[in-house]
Amino acid sequence: MAGEKCGIFAAYGIKNAAELIFHGLFSLQHRGQESAGMVVSDQFSIREHKGMGLVSEVFQSDTLKKLTGTIGLGHVRYSTTGSTSLRNIQPFIGECRFGNISIAHNGNLVNTHSLWKKLGNQGAVFQSTMDTEMILHLIAQSSFDGFEDAVKEALWEIRGAFSLGIMTEKKIIAVRDPWGFRPLALGKLDGGYLISSESCAFDIVGAQFIREIEPGEMLIIDENGLRSLFYAHSQRKAFCIFELIYFSRPDSIIFGESVYAARKKMGWVLAEKEDHDADMVIPVPDSGIYAALGFSEKSKIPFELGMIRNPYVGRTFIRPGREIRNLAVKLKLNPMKSLLKGKKIIILEDSIVRGNTSRERIKTLKSAGVKEVHMRVTSPPHCHPCYYGIDFPTSEELIACRMSQEEIRQFLGLDSLRYIDIAGLKKSVSKPGENFCFACFNGNYPVIPDKGLGKFILEENKQEVKDVFI
């Protein structure tokens, strides 16, 4: 998969901010497992620590003690723009006429190619291959004298999906794009304020969930408290439906929706058209559990946990590399042979993207003696690339672009296959369906990307420059 599908957690006015951010990032670990980083300010200087790996691997107790301050910004990364490397770990820090600026990004810009050329012509030197760094350069090169005006001008230049945490020595700025593709929420704890990609992180640290940052909103947190302004408006919203299908934790409120309730309703909707007899409904843990509960409730087919999840293996969807993902599938889930042998089962899956992971799961179930496997999927076929932060950037990677539904069924080794449709997804949420982005299913892109946009566009741009001078 591929821009930034990541997690952001920030704190302002919090004693020992680093420790709190650590726990916040830990609760957002499902959003990115490649790297983690944190910057902390005591209002005079900024300290940072970054590393490859999980939050618990990157931050040890002695590291956190050195990150002293009451203001901080943290990030967990799953790469969607730029390769997996140390130089691409966020938050990024840049020093300019406004002082030290740190920025963390969840999303994906769709005008990276044009921005790269513009900034390069203006003398910008890039230290990474991340679209996030471009925002730093835009702020630094702004024609405005004031920092907040410079941020606004930078926001007017970028297009795509972005939820941002921007930090100086003395303030935090939280931003959401005008379409609202990616989530971002405001919380409060002991007189201080928190920013998080998901509300579940507030629950973990004992904070109060106040509200979501609005699309097009720029929220400033400093010694004067909270200030809100809207730097842009859009004619429509484009909340990423895949946040509800897969990415977000079930105990989060995203886009005003309970993730748990939405997934359960997806299973309910799928069961309304069920015409196969089965002995049990089983989920693909963990994202399929809640849809399976809804499916079982509606169909009256018993719910069983037919596969046991290894809690020490992360999310296979966001692990880079096919070989690693396939191995993780086998390590992650083990079928209950005594329960499943000779049974006809309906399995609830959140999505079929490339198909390789699902195929491995079905092989494992058939090897366990399952008589029939009928798969029900809580997302429609992925027929179009996503340019807004989900890592399926090319049509060639999408199995639904190469095969019919019947061919996919045969490839996966299923006895039957059925997807929810877009109408069913709209039925599963409380907000109007028009507020959501379904571009990866229907090709209706709210924001048109630069031609040739892909995960490694900036690496390719740099190579083009090298080739010119060789």
Joined tokens for residue 256:
């005003």
CA distance 144 to 142: 5
Report how far apart, in Å, the C-alpha atoms of 269 and of each of 102, 249, 352, 377, 423 are: 44, 21, 18, 11, 10
CA angle 102, 152, 142 (to 5 degrees): 75
Closest among 440, 438, 425 to 387, alpha carbons compared: 440
The DSSP secondary-structure symbol of 448 reads P
Closest among 217, 139, 147, 232 to 176, alpha carbons compared: 217
**If residue 386 lies in a helix (H) or strand (E), which one and from where to where?**
none
CA distance 420 to 266: 8
Q: Where are the beta strands (DSSP E) in 13-45?
A: 35-41
CA angle 375, 381, 384 (to 5 degrees): 155
Q: Is 6 a catalytic residue?
A: yes
Report how far apart, in Å, the C-alpha atoms of 453 and of each of 32, 108, 110, 215, 460 are: 22, 10, 7, 24, 10
Work out the widest C-alpha separation in the chain, in whole angstroms: 72
Q: Please, which residues bridge with residue 187 across strands?
A: 194, 209
How distant is the alpha carbon of residue 285 from its chain centre? 18
Q: Is 329 strand, coil or helix? A: helix
Amino acid identity of 342?
Answer: G
The DSSP secondary-structure symbol of 302 reads P
Work out the number of other CB atoms within 10 angstroms of the CB of residue 45. 11
Catalytic residue among 6, 240, 386, 440: 6
Work out the number of other CB atoms within 10 angstroms of the CB of residue 305. 14
- What is the set of active-site residues? 6
